[in-house]
Structure 1
Amino acid sequence: MKALCYHGKQDIRYDTVPDPTIEDPRDVIIKVTSCAICGSDLHLYDGFMPGMQSGDIMGHEFMGEVVEVGRESRRLKVGDRVVVPFTIICGECDQCRRGNFSVCERTNRNKDVADKVFGHTTAGLYGYTHLTGGYAGGQAEYVRVAHADASAVKVPDGMSDEQALFLGDIFPTGWQAAAQCEIEPTDTVAVWGAGPVGQFAVRSAVMMGARQVVCIDNVPERLAMARAGGAITIDFDQESVVERLNALTNGKGPEKCIDAVGLEAHASRSIDSLYDRVKQAMMMETDRPHVLREMIYVCRPAGILSIPGVYGGLLDKIPFGAAMNKGLTFRMGQTHVNRWTDDLLRRIQEGEIDPSFVITHTVGLDAGPEMYRTFRDKHDSCIKVVLKP
Structure 2
Amino acid sequence: MSIVHVETPGGSYPIHVAAGRLDLLAQSIPGDVTTIALISNPTIMSLYGERVLSALAASGKRVIPVSIPDGEAYKNWETLNLIFDALLGERLDRKALVVALGGGVVGDISGFAAASFMRGIRFLQVPTTLLSQVDSSVGGKTAINHPLGKNMIGAFYQPIAVEIDIDVLSTLPAREISAGLAEVIKYGMITDAAFFDWCEVNAEALVRRDADVISYAVQRSCEIKAQVVSQDERESGLRATLNFGHTFGHAIESGLGYGEWLHGEAVGCGMVMAAELSAELCGLDRGSVERVRALSAAIGCPVEPPQWPAERWVELMGIDKKAEGGQLRFVLMPKIGQSHVETVSPELVTRVIDRFATV
TM exceeding 0.5: no
The TM-score, its normalising length taken from structure 1, stands at 0.27
TM-score in terms of structure 2 length: 0.29
